[in-house]
Chains A and B, each alone.
Chain A
Amino acid sequence: MAHEFRLLETGFHTAAFNMGLDEALLGSVAEGKSLPTLRFYGWKPPAVSIGYFQGLHEEVDVDACRAAGVDVVRRITGGGAVFHHYEVTYSIVVPLSHQLARPNILDSYRLLLGGIIDGLALLGIEAEFAPINDIVTGGKKISGNAQTRKRGCILQHGTILLDVEVDLMFSLLKVPQEKARGKLIEDVKERVTSVQHFFKNRGQNPIFKFLYEETVAALKQGFASALDLSLVGSSPDEAELAEAQRLADEKFASRHWTELR
């Protein structure tokens, strides 16, 4: 029998609210108030998120972000710094007691990322898991992911790149001293790809809205087939939205949290 999951498409929000909602959903599932949940979302304004263990000022040019109107937020998950703009972001919350939960982090990534790999296949993109936490196609990264375990649940969130903006990204993120900026930008252009790239190769140049909607539709099907999910379309309830806003205001937008390391 298929696993019943709640499906949320929550639209575009600030970085602090997005991270607040992911944590609020984790709380709902942990307290048994909600089904395991799959959420799709975007970022408005664009944002840089950093991993829990990263040093803010080592990774991000905070002044450049402010000048460009880009939010900066620390995630509750590990992993690296990400510039969120032209992408689909997802989160999935599963109790550790669920059949789809794996005790080992790598096993868990491998299983849950099957949903993205199947979704990309529906878009004609053949991709594979690249441990620890990436998905690559033709050796190039198209999706980065991060996972934590709290309150008896797994929370995994990640991005599927719709378009690549390497030059803008590197004006916001700090480049390690040992590598020349120009060389690094060229390296990244060689190592990263996007859904848009595949559409362009087919002679198409769709607008972002189309790319976003097509990709979300494919990912829904991909998760459903790879994980045998029965997705129940829904919206966050009032309590979750209130908790998300509280977490956004008191935690994710706070200087204390952002500058934790």
Chain B
Amino acid sequence: MKLELIGKPGGCKLLRMTLEVEPPLSPASRLQRISIRGDFFAVPEEAFEEVEHELEGTALDELGLRFDALVLEKGIQCAGIGGAGLAELVQNLLVQKEQQHGT
């Protein structure tokens, strides 16, 4: 399933994410594909695409930590984006879906 997320989490610029995960949606769902867009900065820019690629296979509830680890590993300097912000967007989505299920 394909999920579109948009928001401005604390400390971040406007972030947009497109996630593809195997249903059913849960915190343990693994990313099949992820695209992160927005008006943030990440230098070098080209290495950011490697991060997106290497996030594939990550469980949704590990996205933030894995993102920060990859950014560190690749020596990318970020401004306006961070793992906590991405995790916040995912968490919001999971809560929203849970509420939809409950109603």
CB-based contact B6/A53 at 8 Å:
no
**Closest residue to B42 on the A side, CB-wise?**
A78
CB-based contact B41/A55 at 8 Å:
no
Number of interface residues of A (CB under 8 A): 25
Q: Does B39 contact A (CB under 8 A)?
A: yes
CB-based contact B77/A53 at 8 Å:
no
**Looking at chain B, what size class is its interface with the partner chain?**
10 to 19
Most buried by B among A53, A58, A106, A150: A53
CA distance A54 to B48 in the complex (A): 13
Given contacts A80-B13, A106-B79, contact A53 B36 (CB under 8 A): yes
CB-based contact B39/A78 at 8 Å:
yes
| Residue among A78, A81, A149 making CB contact with B40, cutoff 8 Å | A78
Determine how close the nearest CB of chain B comes to the CB of A99; give it in whole angstroms.
20
Contact with A along B39-78 (1 / 0, CB 8 A): 1111111001000000000000000000000000000010
**Closest residue to A52 on the B side, CB-wise?**
B45
The secondary structure that dominates the B interface is strand
| Residue among A79, A104, A150, A176 making CB contact with B44, cutoff 8 Å | A150
Determine how close the nearest CB of chain B comes to the CB of A145; give it in whole angstroms.
10
Given contacts A54-B37, A58-B37, A261-B37, contact A148 B45 (CB under 8 A): yes
CA distance A179 to B9 in the complex (A): 16
Contact with A along B20-48 (1 / 0, CB 8 A): 00000000000000011111111111001
CB-based contact A55/B37 at 8 Å:
yes
Chain A residues contacting B42 (CB-CB under 8 Å) are: 53, 78
Chain A residues contacting B80 (CB-CB under 8 Å) are: 78, 132
CB-based contact B43/A54 at 8 Å:
no
Determine how close the nearest CB of chain B comes to the CB of A81; give it in whole angstroms.
7
CA distance A139 to B4 in the complex (A): 33
CB-based contact A132/B79 at 8 Å:
yes
CB-based contact A80/B35 at 8 Å:
no
CB-based contact B77/A105 at 8 Å:
yes
| Residue among A51, A81, A149, A261 making CB contact with B43, cutoff 8 Å | A149
Given contacts A132-B79, A132-B80, contact A80 B16 (CB under 8 A): no
Determine how close the nearest CB of chain A comes to the CB of B57; give it in whole angstroms.
22
CB-based contact A53/B37 at 8 Å:
yes
Chain A residues contacting B48 (CB-CB under 8 Å) are: 53
CA distance A91 to B78 in the complex (A): 21
Q: Does A76 contact B (CB under 8 A)?
A: yes
Q: Does A146 contact B (CB under 8 A)?
A: yes
CB-based contact B38/A53 at 8 Å:
yes
| Residue among B14, B16, B44 making CB contact with A149, cutoff 8 Å | B44
Determine how close the nearest CB of chain B comes to the CB of A131; give it in whole angstroms.
8
B interface residues, Cβ below 8 angstroms from A = 6, 13-14, 16, 35-45, 48, 77, 79-80
A interface residues, Cβ below 8 angstroms from B = 51-55, 58, 76-81, 104-106, 132-133, 146-150, 176, 178, 261
Q: In the A-B complex, list the 10 residue pairs whose CB atoms are closest, starting with the nearest.
A: A80-B39, A78-B41, A55-B37, A132-B79, A149-B43, A52-B45, A105-B79, A51-B39, A79-B39, A105-B77
Q: List 27 A-B contacts (CB under 8 A).
A: A51-B40, A53-B37, A53-B40, A53-B45, A53-B48, A54-B37, A58-B16, A78-B39, A78-B42, A78-B45, A79-B39, A79-B41, A80-B14, A80-B39, A81-B39, A104-B77, A105-B43, A132-B79, A132-B80, A133-B41, A146-B41, A149-B43, A149-B77, A150-B44, A176-B6, A178-B6, A261-B35
